[in-house]
Structure 1
């Protein structure tokens, strides 16, 4: 099989790329981005591109599984329109470009196309668009909805830095309806994506599913290898 990934230099993406290599399921892994990943491996095929160029590209080989870990903030993007161009248009263009039998897309906890919160609404609208695409094309799609991501970013995000300090201290006390908001390590999200992608059954008729934060945490808790990142 062959895979494709975009966002491979990000917090989740860098872990996911390593795990896609380590799992040994893919003969070739097409990596798209502005800069090449730090990893060097014979299976990797890198294409330098900007998001607005995605519709002009042609995959170098047939893609079986595609993985999208794109994510930014309005502050980093510079405007709401620029945020939509990354987190929505970029994700949709990448998935449709790859046209894979299975696609995994990282969105966010609280994604809701009807939300009054701009961030959540954009994430939700992205999910709805991709779910419709998957259904129409009889493709398999999984949307992963993590809570606050733990891990070291290349670029600091003040609000997340504060959250990474405080929420892990509060996590043991987050029960019931608050349990889903527990923070999760980026490497655990990557592990969940690799796990669920390995257990997908193409042609099963269930075209779009959501993997929520609780499911990813449950998988991480069942894993005896705890992250140290």
Structure 2
């Protein structure tokens, strides 16, 4: 059986970094292409690093000739600076990536969205994630896996108060996230990454939405 190839966008992020490590250690993948704005200075026989500006994605279509495309792009409004800048990173880039992936024959598209994603939400962040999901479905990938993690746990380069508080609560008072509140339980970045790799092993076609508590069950 032929081994697979993957394209990973967002390899320097919290989930993306974990995912990269898993893909490189997975014997099913013989090649992993990563798109980055700045070199990760990573030396590995499986890795092909492409340094690019994401506004020029259309110039790099040849790299989309892979089996699986993993999109882990994401930012915050604070980091982006404006809502428009946020929308470009979290909505416009992933949609363009998915469109090129479809055009170039990729079999699976796996993307990180967010718990509470809803195109009709009054909350800007949730609305943008909902619009992303809605538009991704229209592209018509053979296999689309959407991951909706709760607050992510892991070592970030920047400090986020909400995630730090949630981490302390989930570790000290885990019973608070039982029953109907289980979907709000923070989830480890590595857990999400493992879920994405497992989903990529499925041959099922269609649209699959993985809620946070379901991602935990996959591991």
TM-score by length of 1: 0.87
Structure 2 equivalent of residue 47 of structure 1? 50
Matched, 1:179 2:182: yes
- Count of paired positions: 213
Matched, 1:132 2:131: no
Alignment partner of 2:25: what SS?
helix
From 151, 156, 165, the counterpart of 2:159: 156
Bigger shift: 55-64 or 120-129? 55-64
**In 1, distance between residues paired with 2:78 and 2:123?**
15
**In 2, distance between residues paired with 1:17 and 1:87?**
20
Structure 2 equivalent of residue 216 of structure 1? 215
Structure 1 equivalent of residue 40 of structure 2? 37
Structure 2 equivalent of residue 223 of structure 1? none
- Residues 194 and 172 of structure 1: is their aligned pair in 2 closer, same or farther, counting only changes over 3 Å? same
Moved segments of 4+, more than 6 Å: none
**In 2, distance between residues paired with 1:23 and 1:82?**
35
From 199, 203, 219, the counterpart of 2:202: 199
Structure 2 equivalent of residue 112 of structure 1? 118
**In 2, distance between residues paired with 1:153 and 1:218?**
24
Alignment partner of 1:66: what SS?
strand
Matched, 1:103 2:102: no
**In 2, distance between residues paired with 1:66 and 1:142?**
10
Matched, 1:80 2:79: no
- Per-residue CA deviations over 1:9-36 (Å, capped at 9, x if unaligned) read 1000000011111112222211001123
Alignment partner of 1:177: what SS?
helix
Is contact 2:64–2:100 with CA below 8 Å preserved after alignment? no
Structure 2 equivalent of residue 188 of structure 1? 191
Structure 2 equivalent of residue 227 of structure 1? none
**In 1, distance between residues paired with 2:176 and 2:159?**
27
**In 2, distance between residues paired with 1:117 and 1:61?**
33
Is contact 2:37–2:52 with CA below 8 Å preserved after alignment? yes
**In 2, distance between residues paired with 1:88 and 1:69?**
12
Is contact 1:168–1:183 with CA below 8 Å preserved after alignment? no
